[in-house]
Structure 1
């Protein structure tokens, strides 16, 4: 953090509670779902501007996702719910995250009012940083060009960050990451994120079939809008601050009840009561699709093979970058920035 920031990161979800010590700072504006490589270019640019000016840097984002407000019957598959998003932004070194409650009334604010009432009057910004595709205000009239012109007229700086592209020169986006996860392409999703994706949920009681099969699992119900490919994954799970390797199944258990989708996690070399605990499960590799077996013996034999494959995949993990190492408890040298 820069020299003028407080020692503790703050998360703010009420504009009326915006703290005085953040006034005059640099704001990075965007939805930042996933906090992927492109988002982090925006956030890093804001950090650099703040360091040069000796002022705080913070992220301005919106909850819930705007698309979920305008199409509530089709809620967005969130890559990083609010708590996870805040944790990553804190790890990057920003001083705060401001999560504006996004409603239809807020969406109806004129672009001029967003600049004057929020960025200037409320925040007193010295500089704003956004991505090339950020829009704001009623009818999305607030374009990056609009913001740049407002800054030039009103005396605050504006930096528009260009698209981050992958090795195929295709823009990194949250939509691409969601699509990759839906197809089971964990490698691509994690590469676009720049760190390995994880989910968080509380362990719930299940049918305890895994225990009878010799594979007791922690059962986690993910949000209904989760579009993760059904199948078997090599995973690492954070239990009370300790990372443990394992193998997980996400799906409907076609061999048994074909019920609602669950994430069932088997932790290697672990014993203990997990009920009621909130776990973070990091997906390292997709091993195979979900299958139906004729009997329990065939399923157990496949689970043995899955476990061996998962152990092999996890044994060779290298951090994708410093964020992957710190967020996912990975030892060793970073593979990238």
Structure 2
């Protein structure tokens, strides 16, 4: 998969970024794709099917920043996926080219007709635009699906609308709803809606050694500031040690505590991971780690003694061990 980022300069051409094997026709999908959940995946699968039929490439146009942060900079916003995580998932789903561009004033003020004519038709050679059921583009979101279809008939591309993927409750799966699940700690349901586990990646940092003194050494993670953190609590996780993303690390079964450690200082938010079983020596020197959040075991709580917290940690470890034995899921 190729990643390019020059859309905002208006100089994206098929001569500069030709498709694989010389294919210059494109099937295009546009969106932020936060979490790359099952609804997004259906759009990508539809685009790939269309591309196979006509020998075209799949181009995804996505943004460095969420449009919400551009229009509402004063409002707190956290992402389901970092840029690296999102790109890794898009590559796994067979996307050929990703245009990763800033969402800036120029993009925000581009009229839908200009985008369709100058970017989709003239520069990308789009033959198909695949969109979700609630998609719109352009200034003021005036480029609704009927409007885009009208421009497509004039400019030579077809608009294919993809319906929503529904949850078990009969509601459309959306990034907004998944953010709510993560914030509540329901990582299991969130993973089902996303079609892959919720992941937290970052740098390994030194801790204060308290876990080791209790008999449960931990690997401490520093995560990106704009990444959504699951609700405080104890989780069954898979730790991919030594990788900037889950695809590049070595997997290990683990238990992770997200919280403030109220039994001790209660002030600093941390993500501390205890690896189950022996950790290979080379992993102890790893500088990066990625965590798959599989299941929440319990809320974070304050204990009245060191003995009581050790007893509870042992129970947490036993539950995680039982989960991995039953599911064989630590290498997934």
Normalising to structure 2: TM-score of the pair?
Answer: 0.89
Aligned to 1:284: 294
Contact 1:178 1:227 in 2 (8 A): no
Please, which moves more after superposition, 225-234 or 71-80? Answer: 71-80
2:18 is aligned with 1:21: yes
Residue 261 of structure 1 corresponds to 269
The residue aligned with 1:303 is: 313
User: Partner of 2:137: helix, strand, or coil?
Assistant: coil
Question: Deviation at 1:92?
Answer: 1.0
Task: Check 1:116–1:75 CA distance in 2 against 1; reply closer, same or farther (3 A cut).
Answer: farther
CA distance in 2, matches of 1:162, 1:220: 38
Partners of 1:136 and 1:260 in 2: how far apart?
41
> What are the Cα deviations for residues 160-192 of structure 1, in whole angstroms up to 9, with x where unaligned?
111111222110001111111111112210111
Residues 20 and 12 of structure 1: CA distance in aligned 2, closer, same or farther (over 3 Å): closer
Q: How many Å separate the matches in 1 of 2:327 and 2:106?
A: 46
Where does 1:71-220 land on structure 2 (aligned, <5 Å)? Answer: 71-220=72-221
Q: CA separation in 1, counterparts of 2:253 and 2:138?
A: 45
Distance (Å, rounded) in 2 between the aligned partners of 1:73 and 1:212: 42
Equivalent position of 1:12 in the other structure = 4
Q: Which residue of 2 aligns with 1:244?
A: 252
Q: What residue in structure 1 maps to residue 278 of structure 2?
A: 270
Gaps of 5+ in 2: 243-248
* Residues 1:17 and 1:111: Cα distance change in structure 2 (over 3 Å): closer
Give, in angstroms, the shift of residue 210 of structure 1: 0.9
Asked whether the equivalents of residues 130 and 159 of structure 1 are also in contact (C-alpha less than 8 Å), the reply is yes
Q: Tell me by how many angstroms 1:20 deviates.
A: 3.2
Q: For the Cα contact (< 8 Å) 1:234–1:314, is it kept in 2? A: no
Output the TM-score relative to the length of structure 1.
0.88
RMSD of aligned residue pairs (Cα, Å)? 1.8
Q: Separation in 1 of the partners of 2:221 and 2:285? A: 10
1:101 Cα offset (Å) = 1.0
Change in 2 beyond 3 A, CA 1:118/1:75: farther
- How far apart are residue 318 of structure 1 and its match? 6.9
> Is the contact between residue 68 and residue 74 of structure 1 (CA under 8 Å) also seen in structure 2?
yes
Distance in 2 of aligned mates of 1:314 and 1:69:
42
Aligned residue pairs total 314
Distance 1:104 1:130, change over 3 A: same
Measured after TM superposition, the shift of residue 251 of structure 1 is 0.8
- Change in Cα spacing, 1:14 to 1:260, as seen in structure 2 (3 Å) is farther
Deviations 1:262-283 (A, max 9, x none): 1111111234464561111001
